[in-house]
């Protein structure tokens, strides 16, 4: 009996001590505030990208942590960049290269950052765009808007009549390429203001667990509409062109590089005299995003978590505003791959007990390193699936030896840009190459790849380049955007206005009878292409602006689809 009593007492003491150790462990774990800004290039004060930019909060954060001036995205597009960050897997390993690939189709079992933190005693929550227009509810403990919606961006105010500033040049043009000032307050604008408000509320709460809190600020993503007060510091007649722009900058580019540009956008914007207005709107959107960041940083400073929270701020990729005669993203040039990255670590963090000292690091780093870095800093077990090296050696001492390069993968395997100390190497799958001395040529104006004087440097960078590239799985038909079914009554289908590159559209017949598929030509005449049996799906190559009519087998017109700017599914409904 005494033995049983003693055994019970010992067991109780062990449970008590274990419980207290667990509590102590939780108290010691640092929190994580993980902040993303969308489509933000180096146009922030501390990176010197544009002389007119206004980013006091970004600059203040940079001065309090480690600012990486040579940080690059894993891919110059939202979806692959963000998936690489949250999974810790580079595109050439995961196979996620493009925006049209669905996370859970390519990586059905991948455990993302917030899930790992949650599994290790953290409360994982977030708001705003962290992944590409999905939340991935299974990875979070809480989210705003509600996780089941799978739409991470809160309702945002836009002009009633659009386009406001830039007419749509054709179906090839992304509908959100538009900008202008709104007569609205921050609260009325919603969107990022609501995100900053929700994040601030979480920081004001009492948390029993350490937290992983993700804040996705959508601006300066298109469309560049923000309240008018953010335009006021940038009078239109004072706007300066991008410092990286130079006329005839594409003359020394190889064919593959010239083909990668979206010059049509730039030409269209210039044709309508909107270049400076667009620059003004991008600067205003950055100014607004910086103000929303300021609200979040103020909430952190005023909270009880100010001294035990790791802060990480990143952008998913850069953005061209005319440089290389290009608009948008999707390129391997430094203007598009280089991103803001700031990390601040408090003292007593398990992986960096002394925390960070404010510093500037110019080593080539990649956003794919964020997952292993956070795991190391917070004392979480390392994940063998992670591809990037942890940044903790550089956070401890920015002069630490760093033998790594940073690679950005384009939307097809085998196309990439490589960043090293003072050099940039770009290679296309067809063998075309570019080489830049970025120490002397910040904007990559002079391609040195064909210059014999730089043959040794070219060979050295070739040797550091990746050699293995995962295949790119095609997205399922079900994951594609859906074209709107336009039922025909009296009026005929409109004529096609094809304009742009070919891509497939998948026609799915959900009716109980076979149907005929016709292309409506530019004169409004129906050209028969094929029949589609019930429940069957067929692939049809087409262009933006094409009109496809569906008719009964007796040639009675039923309805039509108008093709937009990307591959899609066209569902023929039941009659």
Residues 148 and 276 placed together within one structural domain of the fold: yes
pLDDT band of residue 15 (cuts 50, 70, 90) is very low
Residues 202 and 326 placed together within one structural domain of the fold: yes
**Residue-wise pLDDT tens digits, 103-129:** 999 999 999 999 999 999 999 999 999
Q: Is residue 372 in some structural domain?
A: yes
pLDDT band of residue 328 (cuts 50, 70, 90) is very high
Q: Is residue 455 in some structural domain?
A: no
pLDDT surpassing 80 at residue 12: no
Q: Is residue 79 in some structural domain?
A: yes
Number of domains in the chain: 2
Q: Where are the alpha helices (DSSP H) in 2-154?
A: 2-28, 56-64, 78-87, 91-94, 103-106, 113-119
Question: Is 132 annotated as catalytic?
Answer: yes
Q: Is residue 448 in some structural domain?
A: no
Residue tagged active-site, from 78, 336, 361, 378: 78
**Residue-wise pLDDT tens digits, 419-447:** 999 999 999 999 999 999 999 999 999 99
Beta bridge partner(s), residue 341: 314
Residues 375 and 244 placed together within one structural domain of the fold: yes
pLDDT band of residue 262 (cuts 50, 70, 90) is confident
Residues 221 and 309 placed together within one structural domain of the fold: yes
Nearest to 37 by CA among 60, 51, 58: 58
pLDDT surpassing 70 at residue 322: yes
Q: Rounded CA gap, 216 and 221, in Å?
A: 11
Q: Is residue 423 in some structural domain?
A: no
Question: Is 326 annotated as catalytic?
Answer: no
Residues 404 and 495 placed together within one structural domain of the fold: no
pLDDT band of residue 260 (cuts 50, 70, 90) is confident
Domain limit, last residue, from 355, 381, 409: 409
Instruction: Report, as an integer, the average pLDDT of 183-205.
Output: 98
What's the pTM value of the predicted model, to 2 decimals?
A: 0.93
Q: Rounded CA gap, 444 and 311, in Å?
A: 32
**Residue-wise pLDDT tens digits, 139-154:** 999 999 999 999 999 9
Q: Which domain holds residue 512?
A: 477-572
Residue tagged active-site, from 132, 317, 320, 326: 132
Q: Rounded CA gap, 466 and 332, in Å?
A: 15
Q: Is residue 453 in some structural domain?
A: no
Instruction: Report, as an integer, the average pLDDT of 390-410.
Output: 98
Residues 214 and 312 placed together within one structural domain of the fold: yes
User: Is 127 in a helix, a strand, or coil?
Assistant: strand
Domain limit, last residue, from 364, 380, 409: 409
Residues 481 and 403 placed together within one structural domain of the fold: no
CATH assignment of the domain containing 485:
2.60.40.780
Q: Is residue 450 in some structural domain?
A: no
| 525-532: Cβ within 8 A, 24+ apart | 526/493, 526/551, 532/507, 532/572
pLDDT band of residue 220 (cuts 50, 70, 90) is very high
The predicted structure's pLDDT at residue 28: 78
CATH assignment of the domain containing 51:
3.40.720.10
Q: Is residue 454 in some structural domain?
A: no
The predicted structure's pLDDT at residue 20: 33
Residues 403 and 266 placed together within one structural domain of the fold: yes
**Residue-wise pLDDT tens digits, 55-69:** 999 999 999 999 999
Residues 403 and 548 placed together within one structural domain of the fold: no
Domain limit, last residue, from 368, 390, 409: 409
Query: What is the average pLDDT score of the chain?
Result: 95
Residues 384 and 525 placed together within one structural domain of the fold: no
Percent pLDDT > 90 in the chain is 94
pLDDT band of residue 261 (cuts 50, 70, 90) is confident
Residues 282 and 397 placed together within one structural domain of the fold: yes
Residues 405 and 505 placed together within one structural domain of the fold: no
């Amino acid at each position: 009996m005494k033995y049983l009593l003693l055994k019970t007492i010992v067991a109780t003491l062990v449970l008590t001590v274990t419980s207290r150790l667990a509590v102590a462990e939780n108290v010691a774990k640092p929190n994580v505030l993980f902040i993303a800004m969308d489509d933000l290039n180096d146009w922030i004060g501390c990176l010197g990208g544009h002389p007119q930019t206004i980013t006091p909060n970004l600059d203040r954060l940079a001065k309090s942590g480690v600012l990486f001036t040579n940080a690059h995205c894993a891919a110059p597009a939202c979806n692959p960049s963000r998936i690489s960050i949250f999974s810790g897997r580079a595109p050439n390993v995961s196979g996620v290269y493009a925006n049209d690939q669905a996370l859970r189709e390519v990586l059905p079992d991948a455990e993302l950052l917030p899930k790992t933190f949650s599994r290790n005693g953290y409360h994982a929550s977030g708001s705003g765009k962290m992944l590409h227009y999905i939340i991935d509810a299974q990875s979070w403990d809480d989210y705003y808007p509600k996780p089941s919606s799978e739409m991470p961006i809160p309702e945002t105010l836009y002009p009633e009549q659009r386009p406001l500033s830039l007419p749509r040049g054709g179906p090839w043009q992304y509908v959100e390429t538009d900008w202008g000032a709104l007569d609205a307050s921050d609260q009325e604008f919603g969107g990022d203001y609501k995100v900053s408000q929700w994040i601030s509320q979480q920081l004001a709460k009492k948390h029993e667990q350490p937290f992983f809190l993700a804040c996705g600020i959508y601006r300066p993503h298109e469309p560049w509409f923000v309240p008018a007060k953010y335009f006021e510091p940038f009078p239109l007649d004072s706007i300066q062109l991008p410092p990286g722009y130079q006329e005839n900058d594409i003359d020394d580019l190889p064919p593959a590089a010239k083909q990668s540009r979206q010059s049509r956008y730039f030409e269209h914007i210039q044709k309508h005299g909107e270049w400076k207005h667009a620059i003004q709107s991008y600067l205003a959107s950055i100014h607004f995003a910086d103000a929303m960041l300021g609200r979040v940083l103020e909430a952190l400073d005023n909270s009880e978590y100010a001294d035990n929270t790791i802060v990480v701020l990143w952008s998913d990729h850069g953005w061209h505003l005319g440089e290389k005669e290009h608009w948008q993203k999707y390129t391997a040039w430094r203007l598009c791959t280089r991103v803001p990255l700031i990390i601040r670590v408090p003292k007593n963090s398990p992986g960096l007990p002394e925390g960070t000292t404010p510093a500037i690091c110019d080593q080539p780093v990649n956003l794919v390193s964020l997952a292993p870095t956070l795991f190391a800093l917070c004392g979480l077990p390392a994940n063998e699936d992670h591809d990037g090296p942890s940044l903790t050696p550089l956070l401890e001492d920015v002069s630490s030896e760093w033998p790594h390069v940073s690679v950005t993968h384009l939307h097809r395997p085998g196309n990439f840009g490589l960043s090293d100390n003072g050099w940039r190497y770009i290679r296309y799958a067809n063998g075309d190459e570019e080489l830049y001395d970025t120490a002397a040529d910040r904007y990559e104006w002079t391609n040195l790849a064909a210059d014999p004087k730089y043959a040794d440097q070219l060979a050295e960078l070739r040797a550091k380049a990746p050699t293995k590239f995962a295949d790119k799985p095609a997205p399922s038909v079900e994951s594609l955007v859906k074209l709107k079914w336009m039922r025909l009554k009296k009026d005929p289908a409109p004529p096609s206005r094809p304009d742009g590159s070919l891509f497939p559209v998948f026609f799915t017949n959900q009716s109980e009878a076979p149907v005929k598929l016709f292309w409506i030509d530019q004169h409004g005449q129906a050209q028969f292409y094929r029949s589609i049996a019930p429940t069957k799906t067929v692939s049809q190559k087409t262009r933006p602006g094409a009109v496809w009519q569906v008719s009964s087998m007796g040639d009675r017109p039923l309805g039509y689809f108008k093709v937009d700017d990307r591959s899609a599914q066209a569902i023929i409904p039941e009659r």
